[in-house]
Amino acid sequence: MLAGIRVLDIATLAAAPLAATYLGEFGADVIKIEQPQGGDPIRGWGVQDNGTGLMWKSIGRNKRSVTIDLRTDTGQDLVRRLAVECDVVVANTRPHTLTRWGLDYEALSSLNPKLVMLHVTGFGLEGPKSTRPGFGTLGEAMSGFAHSTGEAGGPPTLPSFMLADGVASLNAAYAVMMALYHRDVHGADGQLIDINLIDPLARLLEQSLLAYDRTGTIAHRSGNRWEISAPRNTYRTKDGRWLAMSASAPSIALRVFKAIGRADLISHPDFSDPQRRLSRLDEVDEIVAEWVGRHTLDEAMSVFEAEEIAAAPVYDVAQLVEDEQMKARKVFVRVEDDELGNLLVQTPVPRFSRSGGIVDTLGPALGRHTTEVLSEILGLSDTELAELRERNIV
C-alpha cells in the first residue's frame, strides 16, 4: 500500500521508531539510521536472548539498518543527502540538538520542500518545557493517566508497558499519512508534524476534563471501577481466575441481573436507572462478585455469553496466544530470523480487504544494510565507503 514511500528513521527507542515501523508494515521502505557504536539503545532494552534484544527485533521489523555517526559533520551531511531522497524523516532528538546538527525541519525542507518530517519529543516543540528530555513515564504521569489508575487510597499507578509511547506512535503514524495525502493529492509541500508524549494520552482522558470543566470535580482512583458505569469491574471466580465486565450500555446491566438470578432488580428504581444505580455501586459490585465467586470461569462465561453480556476472561500472555479468537485472526505470527532462528510477534493491526500488512523481516543486525543503502541511494563507491569506515563515520 505504501510502496514507493521512503522513510528515513533517525530516531531512537520507542514512540518515533514505532511510527516508522507501522509505515514499514504496509510497504514503505524504512531506512533506520543508527550510531556505529551500539546503535539504537532499544537493542539493549528489555529481555535479551544471547545478547539479542527481543524488543528491537519487533520494533526493527521491515527496516534496513544503516550506521552513520550523526555527531560528525560528515555523518550529518550523509543524512541530509539521504533526506533529499526520502518522503518522510522521523526524529526524536531534542530540538536544539537537531538544529545544531543541521537536521531540523527548516534545514531539511530547504533541501527537499516535499519532505514530511515527524518530530516526536517529550513535551512538544513549543513551550517552556520544550527543551527538556522526556520518556513515556513522564507522559503517563503528566497526562492524568497515573493519577486515575490504581486502587482507591493507593499511589498513582504507572503501566508496565510503553503506553504513552504507543499512543503517541499511533497518532504519529496517521499524522504522517495525512501529511502525505495533503502533499500528494492537493499538490502541497511537505510539513512538520509535532507530536509529544503527553497530548495523545491526555486526549484519551476526556471524561475527567469534561467533568472538571463543568462540575469542578477531579476524578480520583477507584481501582477497576469506573464511576460512570455499573457493574464495571474485575471479579474473581471460584477456580481462582478473573473475569472483567462492562455494563456501559444500560441494557447490559439489566441482562446481568437476569443472568445471575436477580431479576427482581430489573424493576427496582435504584438498580434499573443507570444514574441512580451509580449511587449504589458498592451493592451492585457485591451482588455480582458474590455470584461470580460461586462459579468457575468457564461456568460464568457460559452464562454471560448466552445472555450476550459484555464479559471476558482476564488473560495472561500465554492464555492470549492460545485463545481461539486470536488464532482465527492470526494475531500472532512466527517469523524466521538469522540471529534467533524464529520469533513469535504481533502481526500488523489494521485489516484491509484488498491489501495486508507484512512482517518480512525482524530487526536486522547493526549496520547490515549500510553498504546497500549508501551505494544504492547516494551512489557511493566502494572506495568512498571504505574511507568512511576507516574514519568510523559508518
pLDDT for the residue numbered 170: 98
What is the tens place of the pLDDT at every residue in 199-244? Answer: 999 999 999 999 999 999 998 899 998 888 889 999 999 999 999 9
Please give the pLDDT value at position 174. 97
Residue 191 has a pLDDT of 98
Residue of 330, 335, 370, 373 lying closest to 349 (CA atoms): 330
Distance of alpha carbon 179 from alpha carbon 176, whole angstroms: 5
| Integer CA distances (angstroms), 361 to 197, 261, 287, 342, in order | 28, 53, 51, 10
From CA 172, how far away is CA 179, in angstroms rounded? 10
CB atoms within 10 A of CB 320: 13
Q: Could you tell me if 300 and 231 are in contact, meaning their C-beta atoms sit under 8 angstroms apart? A: no
Instruction: For 164-186, give the secondary structure using H, E and C.
Output: HHHHHHHHHHHHHHHHHHHHHHH
Going along the chain from its start, the domains and CATH numbers come out as 6-202+329-390 (3.40.50.10540), 232-236+242-313 (3.30.1540.10)
Average pLDDT, 10 consecutive residues per value, the chain (394 residues): 97 97 98 97 95 97 98 98 98 96 98 98 95 94 96 95 98 98 98 98 94 93 87 96 91 93 93 89 94 98 96 98 97 97 97 93 98 98 97 97
Q: Are 193 and 116 in contact (CB under 8 A)?
A: yes
pLDDT at 226: 84
Is residue 43 within 8 A of residue 341, CB to CB? The reply is no
Active site residues: 165
Q: Which triple of cell numbers denotes residue 40?
A: 539504537
pLDDT in the model for residue 249 = 83
User: What CA–CA distance (Å, rounded) separates 94 from 117?
Assistant: 14
d(CA 50, CA 53): 8
pLDDT of residue 372: 98
Residues 6+ apart with CB under 8 A from 275: none
- pTM for the complete prediction? 0.94
Where would I find the H helices in the chain? 15-24, 54-59, 73-84, 95-101, 105-111, 136-142, 145-148, 163-186, 199-203, 206-215, 250-259, 269-272, 274-278, 281-293, 297-306, 317-322, 324-329, 370-378, 382-390
